[in-house]
Structure 1
């Protein structure tokens, strides 16, 4: 969460990572993490080979709409497999239940945790055999 969400994203830059879930990852859009506050996280988005889940609140003032749009646009441009969720009415850190200043949303927290379980269960299960698929043609069928 927060800085940890950014660090989960940075872990996804390692090609050995099959999936990462990033809760309200701060500073990706502004390049202000690390020494000198000049990180290359977004620039390196093309290094991500696993599946990425990005979760934000629509009212997140740490990652403003323009920042979320930049992250989403960059991930699309780099061809990353990702899901991007922006929960209506949710603020930054809506999952923290201690000292959350009224931001905690237990129902939404449960949904986001289910998203984490889904992607990790699907991407990390070894009893399904080696991962198959990859790029596929999307059919224009209703």
Structure 2
């Protein structure tokens, strides 16, 4: 929550949704991995006047899935990892650079009358879709 406070200095409507999971069946869990079942939620106002009916984890869960699918280091139950935290930071940076500048997003493209559009273009900080060669040229 410090990141929110440090970024917006209290000038934000912010709520937190906490999911409550049931304890997994130990015998079943020892045989195979399966995610726990969500049995409830707790929504808490953190700052400002947020609309609690719109509090959701959908966006962050989708972003986490995109990271897991795009970087082997974040795949669940794997032995792939970065030996150095610096290597992990580089991998995450490359992932987000490609995600925001080299990968057109369907909803943004549709909203832009079919013109392939990246989040960087939608934010007005790029005027084109970058190639992976463009990104590689930025590296030291």
If the length of structure 1 is used for normalisation, what is the TM-score?
A: 0.25
Looking at CA atoms only, which structure, 1 or 2, has the larger radius of gyration? 2
Structure that is richer in helix per residue: 2
Structure that is richer in strand per residue: 1
Q: 1 or 2 for the larger relative contact order (CA 8 Å, sep ≥6)? A: 1
